Amino acid sequence: MKKIIFITNGCSLDCDALDVACYIAGNARASIKGLFFEAADAAGDAVLSGLDPAPCGDILGEPDTIGFETATETRALNIQRFRTLCEKRNIVCTIHCMGEYDIAEALIESRFADLIVAGEKTAASDAQGRFPAPLLKALLQKAECPVIIASERISHIDEVVFAYDGSASSVFAIRQFAYLLPFFDNRRMIVVQVGDIPEVSYKQQVSELLKGYYSQIGYEVVHGKDPAFELFNFLKRRDHCFIVMGAYGRAYLSRLFKDSTAEPLIQLMKQPVFITHH
Amino acid sequence: MIKVLIASEGTVISPTVFEFVKQMNGQMPVLLSGLFLPASHFTDLLTHNACPAQDLPCDEKMHRGLVELVYEFIGFCKKNNICYTLYSDGGRFELPELQYETRYADLLLIGEELLKIADTGSWCGSCLADLIRDSECPIVIIPQTYTAPTKNIIAFDGSAASVYALKQFSYLLPGFATNETLFMAVENNIAEDASALNEKQLTELAKSHYPSYRIETEGGSILRYFSGEMNEAGTLIIAGSYGTLPGFNVGCTNLAPDIQCQGAPLFITSY
C-alpha cells in the first residue's frame, strides 16, 4: 500500500484536488495523509471554500451555510470533511496540521511519501500575487516524491501524455508514473516530443521500456521552436488525459510557470499533471 | 513488467545472476536486456578510462566467447519463459551509451566480479562509486555465492538517498519487499545518532511498503555486513547511494573505501 500526501489550505479545502487524491488512492490501494496548512490570510479566508457549488459533490451532502468565526473552526470542519470523504471511499487517512511557514516540514513529509497531490488552490497566487504560491513552488523544486497538480476532478482518463525530451528527467518521470499509477495500464499512452526532429529520440529504447507496462503506445513529434508553447497547444486540444513531465525548472516546465502574455500556461491546463524532478 | 539490464563480465555471466533473475521473474515477469561487453572494457567504462572504440581489445577468441554467452543467455531466457532483448557491444560501446541504456531500464544487474579486486577479494570502492554515479537506474550487485534472499536489511541514515532507495526497492522488487525486513541505523555524518530511525514518518512508510519490518536503532551493527564479519545466508542489503554505505565519504569518491559484502546481494541507487 502506497502513501499519498494531500496538501491543502486548512481554511479552504480543495475538494477537486481531494477528489483526485481519493481517485488515485482508491485505484492504487493507497492511504492518504492530509497536510492542512494554516493560510497566510487565514483570518480573511475563514469561510468554507468550495461549498458553492456543493462541496465534494454529493458525497458530503448539502452545502453548510452556517458561518464560522475563526480560522481554527473552519480548519477543524475541513478536516472533518476530509475524514468523512476518505471514510466513505474506504481510504485509510491520517491528518497533520502545519503552520503557515512549515515548508521545510512539508518537504520532510515528501521524503517519506510516494506521491503528493496538490490542488489549484495550493498553486494559486498568494497575497503578494506570486505564482505559483511559495508552497507549491518549493514542493515542485524540492519535493522528494512526485507531485500531481490537479485543478479539476477526474471523471475518467482516456490517455496519458508523456512530455518527453530525451532527458534523464523525462524518462525518470515515465518510470515513476508506471510504478505509482499502474492502474492506467490499459489506457492509450502518447509520447510527445517537441522539436525539429524526424522521430522521438531513442524511440527503440523508450518503446522497449514502455512495452513492459503498456499495450497501446503512440509517438508524436510536435514541430516548433518554443517547446512550452507548442506543448501547451498540443495539450489544450485534448480532454480526459493525464500529463506526465520531468524536472521543474528545466525545459517545458520552467516556461509553463513564467508569466506569458495571458495567464501562466499551467493555470490554463485543466488536466492533472504528474511532475517529478530528479 | 520491468526492464532489467544485465551486464556480462566479459564472456561470462555469473550463474548467481541468472539465479537472481529467475527468482525475480518467478515473482513478477521481467524483460531481460542483455548487454555483452568485454570485461576489461566494462571496467574501463566504470573508471572512465575507456579507450577509443577502434582500439577495443576484442579479439577473435573473445568475440567467440561473447557469441557463446549470447546463446547461453538466450537459452536461459527461453528455458525460464523470460522475455529478452540483446545488446551486443560490437566494439563501439562507450560510456554515454551505457548511461543511455540505464536511463531506459528499470534495474541494472551485475555480478560482483566486475567490481572485485583480485588481491583482496573486496569490491573496488571507487568503481562502485563511479557505477552508482553513472547509472540512471538502481543497481543490484550479485555475489558469486548466492542464497535466495529471504530477508532484507535496509541501511538507513534518514537521508533522502536512503529513503529513496527503500521506496524504489519496494516498487521494483515487491516480491522481495514482503520478506522480513530490518531497518538498521548507519552512523555517518548525516545521522550522527540513531534518532533518524525513531521518526514517525519512517514507521508510516515502512508499514506501507514492508509488511514484515523491524527497526534496529543500534548504530554500527550494519558495519558487520560490510566488513565481512557477518555473513548471514539469504540476506539482501538495500542502500541509497554510496553515502549510505559505512565508511564512504559523500561527494568524495576518491575516498570510497574497498568493501566486502559477502554472500549478500546489494541493491543500491543513485540519488
Residue A53: per-residue pLDDT: 42
pLDDT along chain B (271 residues), means of 10: 84 86 92 77 54 54 78 91 77 60 90 73 71 86 85 86 92 94 73 59 88 78 63 81 59 54 81 74
In degrees, rounded to 5, the angle at the alpha carbon of residue A251 between the alpha carbons of residues A245 and A255 is: 95
Residue B18: per-residue pLDDT: 92
Asked, colleague to colleague, whether A3-150 and A159-275 share their fold, the answer is yes
Answer whether B151 touches A (CB < 8 Å). no
Q: How many angstroms separate the Cα of A152 from the Cα of each of A32, A121, A155, A156, A217?
A: 19, 11, 9, 11, 25
Residue A153: per-residue pLDDT: 84
Query: Is the confidence at residue A259, as pLDDT, over 60?
Result: no
Using the beta-carbon criterion (under 8 Å), do A168 and B136 form an inter-chain contact? yes
Answer whether A2 touches B (CB < 8 Å). yes
Across the A:B interface, residue pairs with CB atoms under 8 Å apart total 63
Which CATH number describes the domain made up of A159-275? 3.40.50.620
Query: Is the confidence at residue A234, as pLDDT, over 80?
Result: yes
Answer whether A94 touches B (CB < 8 Å). yes
Residue A48: per-residue pLDDT: 43
* Shortest CA gap A12–chain B (Å): 26
How is residue A192 written as a grid cell?
A: 510527445
The rounded percent of chain A whose pLDDT value lies above 70 is 75
CA distance A188 to B144: 43
Please name the CATH architecture into which domain B2-114 falls. 3-Layer(aba) Sandwich (3.40)
How is residue B107 written as a grid cell?
A: 534495474
**Alpha helices for chain A (secondary structure H):** 15-28, 71-88, 103-111, 120-123, 134-142, 168-180, 203-211, 227-236, 251-257, 265-268
CA distance B66 to B16: 18
Model confidence band, residue A23 (pLDDT cutoffs 50, 70, 90): very high
Check residues B4 and A46 and name the one with the higher pLDDT. B4
CA distance B201 to B190: 17
Q: Is the dihedral of CA B197, B200, B206, B211 positive or negative?
A: positive
Query: Is the confidence at residue A21, as pLDDT, over 60?
Result: yes
Q: Is residue B32 a contact partner of residue B105, using CB atoms and an 8 Å limit?
A: no
Using the beta-carbon criterion (under 8 Å), do B103 and A179 form an inter-chain contact? no
Query: Is the confidence at residue A232, as pLDDT, over 50?
Result: yes
Model confidence band, residue A245 (pLDDT cutoffs 50, 70, 90): confident
Using the beta-carbon criterion (under 8 Å), do A208 and B33 form an inter-chain contact? yes
Which chain A residues are within 8 Å of B33, Cβ to Cβ?
208
Residue A160: per-residue pLDDT: 95
Check residues A7 and B98 and name the one with the higher pLDDT. A7
In chain B, residues 154-193 whose CB comes closer than 8 Å to chain A: 160, 163-164, 167, 171-172
Chain B residue with CA closest to A278: the answer is B271
Residue B243: per-residue pLDDT: 61
Residue A65: per-residue pLDDT: 46
Model confidence band, residue A22 (pLDDT cutoffs 50, 70, 90): very high
Using the beta-carbon criterion (under 8 Å), do A111 and B204 form an inter-chain contact? no
Q: Is residue B219 a contact partner of residue B195, using CB atoms and an 8 Å limit?
A: no
Domain ranges across chain A: 3-150, 159-275
Residue A37: per-residue pLDDT: 83
What fold characterizes domain B151-269?
Rossmann fold (3.40.50)
pLDDT tens for each residue of A148-203? 988 888 888 899 999 898 888 899 999 999 999 999 999 999 999 988 889 999 89
Using the beta-carbon criterion (under 8 Å), do B199 and A112 form an inter-chain contact? yes
What ipTM was assigned to the predicted interfaces of this complex?
0.83
Chain B residue with CA closest to A168: the answer is B103
The answer to whether the predicted template modeling score (pTM) of the entire model surpasses 0.95 is no
* Shortest CA gap B115–chain A (Å): 25
CA distance B22 to B77: 9
Residue B172: per-residue pLDDT: 95
Looking at domain A3-150, does it have CATH number 3.40.50.10680? no
Using the beta-carbon criterion (under 8 Å), do A111 and B106 form an inter-chain contact? no
The H-or-E segment that residue B132 falls in is helix B125-134
Q: If you ran DSSP here, which 8-state letter would residue A12 be given? A: B
| Distance in angstroms between the alpha carbons of the first and the last residue of chain A | 23
Phi, psi of A29 (to 5 degrees): 50, 50
CA distance B241 to B120: 23
Asked, colleague to colleague, whether B2-114 and B151-269 share their fold, the answer is yes
In chain A, residues 105-134 whose CB comes closer than 8 Å to chain B: 108-109, 111-114
Q: If you ran DSSP here, which 8-state letter would residue A220 be given? A: E
Domain ranges across chain B: 2-114, 151-269
